[in-house]
Structure 1
Amino acid sequence: MTRPLYCDESIWIPVADGLRRRGWPVKTARGQDTLGDPDRQQLQYATENEWVFLTFDDDFLSLVASQGLEHTGLIYIDQRGRQIGDVVKTADTHLDTRADDDYAITYL
């Protein structure tokens, strides 16, 4: 996968940094000046840029399911009980096998 990841504000900065160190192109809400934007706008912003949306916030799953919002790939990571390194490794392993044209919702 070579499309950039868009990490919403729920993603810990060290996770975004860890993914960058592993060679993934990463955009963050902080870096894109979208901190505090409503969830709907965050998802729309990533979709308009054709970025894969990465989040810890399960509200995005509800938004997509109940409102049928479009996306260009959504990865939800349940971070409960996980250390930063584990989250980075889990995401990295998934991204290594994810096709560039995979617009699915993934639960990790």
Structure 2
Amino acid sequence: MRPLYCDESIWIPVADGLRRRGWTVYTVRGQDRLGDTDHEHLSYALENDWLLVTFDDDFLSLVETEDLDHAGIIYVRQAGRDIGDVVKAIDEQLENREPDDRGIDYC
């Protein structure tokens, strides 16, 4: 499975939890990309062939309205979830995802 790129909306403990489950995770903070635009994050993830993980539905709008290329997006609904629930939901989505899938998943 391709590495994950957690945007700045994803809580750091979520990224840490995914690492503990064995996923390779990069964060916006860790890549010194805080303040980049959503377009820049999508491009950066694509250049590195990383799946973008986000709570931010702006990425969905960008991809749909502007038909932007991406390496895959996992959009996470955070309402009513704690950190453990989010980590489990993403982990399950990744376990069921085809390695070369470049689509958008919702969890």
TM-score range, shorter chain: over 0.9
| Equivalent residue, structure 2, for 1:94 | 93
Name the aligned partner's letter for residue 77 of structure 2.
D
Taking the aligned partners of 1:57 and 1:50, their CA distance within structure 2 comes to 20
Q: Percent identity?
A: 64
| Equivalent residue, structure 2, for 1:70 | 69
**Structure 1 residue 97: Cα displacement:** 1.3
Alignment TM-score, normalising by the size of structure 2: 0.98
**Structure 1 residue 44: Cα displacement:** 0.5
| Aligned-residue RMSD, C-alpha | 0.5
**What residue ranges of structure 1 are gaps of 5+ in the alignment?**
none
**Structure 1 residue 18: Cα displacement:** 0.2
Taking the aligned partners of 1:107 and 1:22, their CA distance within structure 2 comes to 20
**What residue ranges of structure 2 are gaps of 5+ in the alignment?**
none
SS in 2 for 1:62: helix
| 1:32 equivalenced with 2:31 (yes/no) | yes
| 1:17 equivalenced with 2:39 (yes/no) | no
| Equivalent residue, structure 1, for 2:51 | 52
Taking the aligned partners of 1:18 and 1:97, their CA distance within structure 2 comes to 18
Alignment TM-score, normalising by the size of structure 1: 0.97
SS in 2 for 1:27: strand
Find runs of 4+ consecutive structure 1 residues off by over 2 angstroms. Answer: none
| Equivalent residue, structure 2, for 1:103 | 102
**Structure 1 residue 48: Cα displacement:** 0.6
Taking the aligned partners of 1:60 and 1:91, their CA distance within structure 2 comes to 17
**Structure 1 residue 16: Cα displacement:** 0.2
Paired residues, number: 107
